Amino acid sequence: MKLSGLLGRAHHELPGVTGVARVDRRSGDLLRRLGPGDVAVLDHVDIDRRTAEALVHAGVVGVVNASTSISGRFPNLGPELLIEAGVALVDGVGTAVLREVKDGTKLRLHEGGVFVGDKEVARGVAQDTESIADAMIEAKAGMAAQLEAFSANTIEFLRRERALLLDGLGVPELLVPIRDRQVLVVAGGPRHAEELRKLRRYIREHRPVLIGVDAGADTLHDAGFAPDVIVGDPDAIATATLRSGSEVVVPAQIDGHAPGLERIQDLGIGAVTFPATGNAEDLALLLAEAHGASLVVTVGLQAGLREFLDRGNAGSTPSTFLTRLKLGNKLVDGHAVATLHRARVSSGLVVLLVLAVVAAMTAAVAVSGVGQVYVDLAADALHSVVDWFGGLFG
C-alpha cells in the first residue's frame, strides 16, 4: 500500500467527532446557517433550552463554546439537552477560537481538544452527563437571584405589553376559523415528536386547528399533518412545511423588523407579522386565545420553574408566565390529553375478540361451498378489529 494511502487511512481513523465548522459569535445568526453534520462554534454563556433545541433540530454533531455553558448562576437547561441528544460539547475554550477557526473548516473534537487535522487549535472541557449533572446541582444556588429578576421583568413586561395581554390589540387576523374550536399547538420542545404521536387518536376524533411553532411545524408536516397555522422564523422552517401551511405568522420586533420575512416573499407565500416582544410559542397561544379557541392543547411547551428561570428566556419569561395566566383553564398539556384518550381495555377481552373472529373464519370454510368468499369477509372483519385496537392504543 502506498504511503499516501496509509496516511489517509490513519487520518480517517482519528478518534472523536468530526464536522464542518460554522463560526459566529452571535448564536441567533449562527443558527440560521447550521445544517446536519456541522460543528457550531459560538460564544454563549449559559446555553439556554431554546438555543439547544435549535442546535439539535439543525442536526449539529458538536458544539464548541468559547464561554462556559453553565456558569453556575442558575440551572440553565441547554447543555443537558445537547448531551441527551448525543451532541458533543466542548466548553470554555476561549474567544480566540472564533479567530483561529475559519468558517467551513473541518473540525475534530476529542477529549476537550479542538483539532484542525492533527493540529490542536483550542482546548476546553468535554462535557458529559456526569459533569453536567454536577454543574446543575451547584447552579441551583443561583435560583433566588433569578426569581427576583423574574419578578422585576414581569412587571416591566406587563407595563409594555398590557394592551396585547388584556385587550388582544395587535393580534393579526387569521383566515382559519378558530372560534369555538379546539387548537393543538406543537412546539419543538423535548420529546415533542413522541408526544404528537400519542395524540393521533385525539386529532382524529376532535380535528383541532393545528398550529406549528418553529421546529414543531416541521414535526407536524413530517408526521403527515398539514399545519393550519405556522408561527415562527421562516429561516428555521423547511420549505415544504412552509408551503403546506394554510397561513404563516412571522413574529416581528417592536420596530417592525421580522426575521425571515424575505424568505417568505421569495417563496411567494403569504404571511402576516405579529409585532410583540414575546417568543413564538407565546404568540401562538395568544393567537388561539384571541380568536376564541375553546381549548388549547400544547405539545413541546414546557413551563416549569426550571424553564421560567432559564436565562435564554430572560426577556420572554414574563411573556410565558403571563400568557399562561391569560389562557387560564383553556390551556391543557398534551400529555394529559393523551392519557385521558388512552382506552383501558383488558388484554383478556382483546384475546377473546380475536379468537371469536378466527373461529368465525374456520366455521365459514367448513360449512360453505364458497368458503373463500366467507374467508375474505371474515378477514376484513379481523382487519377492522385490528385497526380499531390500533386506534385505541396508537
Residue 241, exposed/middle/buried by CB under 10 A (0-12, 13-18, 19+)?
buried
Q: Strand 125-126 relative to strand 38-42: parallel, antiparallel, unpaired?
A: unpaired
Please check the confidence at residue 313 and state whether its pLDDT lies above 50: no
CATH class entry, domain 3-127: alpha beta
Question: Which residue is listed with cell 487511512?
Answer: 9
pLDDT tier for residue 200 given thresholds of 50, 70 and 90: very high
Half-sphere exposure of 216 (CA within 13 A, CB side): 29
The kind and range of the H/E element at 365 are helix 347-367
DSSP assignment of 71-137, as one string?
-SSS--SHHHHHHHTT-EEEE---TTHHHHSPTT-EEEEETTEEEETTEEEEE-EE--HHHHHHHHH
Please check the confidence at residue 35 and state whether its pLDDT lies above 50: yes
Name the strands in the sheet holding 62-65, side by side, starting at the edge strand that comes first in the sequence: 119-123, 113-116, 106-110, 17-23, 38-42, 62-65, 88-91, 125-126
Residue 342's identity, in one-letter code, is R
Please check the confidence at residue 345 and state whether its pLDDT lies above 60: no
For the chain, the average pLDDT equals: 80
Instruction: Tell me the C-alpha distance between 261 and 274, whole Å.
Output: 12
Question: What residue ranges do the domains of the chain occupy?
Answer: 3-127, 142-341, 347-393
Please check the confidence at residue 11 and state whether its pLDDT lies above 90: no
Q: What is the mean pLDDT of residues 25-34?
A: 83
Q: What is the mean pLDDT of residues 262-289?
A: 86
pLDDT tier for residue 235 given thresholds of 50, 70 and 90: confident
Question: What percentage of the chain exceeds 90 in pLDDT?
Answer: 39
Lowest mean pLDDT among 165-169, 175-179, 333-337: 165-169
123/160: higher pLDDT: 123
Instruction: Tell me the C-alpha distance between 164 and 80, whole Å.
Output: 34
C-alpha cell at 358: 378466527
Residue 282 has a pLDDT of 87
Q: Mind listing the pLDDT tens digit for each residue in 204-232?
A: 999 999 999 988 999 999 999 999 999 98
Instruction: Tell me the C-alpha distance between 198 and 389, whole Å.
Output: 14
pLDDT tier for residue 359 given thresholds of 50, 70 and 90: low
Q: Which residues contact 241 (CB under 8 A, 6 or more apart)?
A: 212, 217, 218, 220, 221, 227, 230
Q: Mind listing the pLDDT tens digit for each residue in 283-302?
A: 999 999 999 999 999 998 86
Q: Strand 88-91 relative to strand 62-65: parallel, antiparallel, unpaired?
A: parallel
- Compute the Cα dihedral for 334, 337, 343, 347 and give only its sign: positive
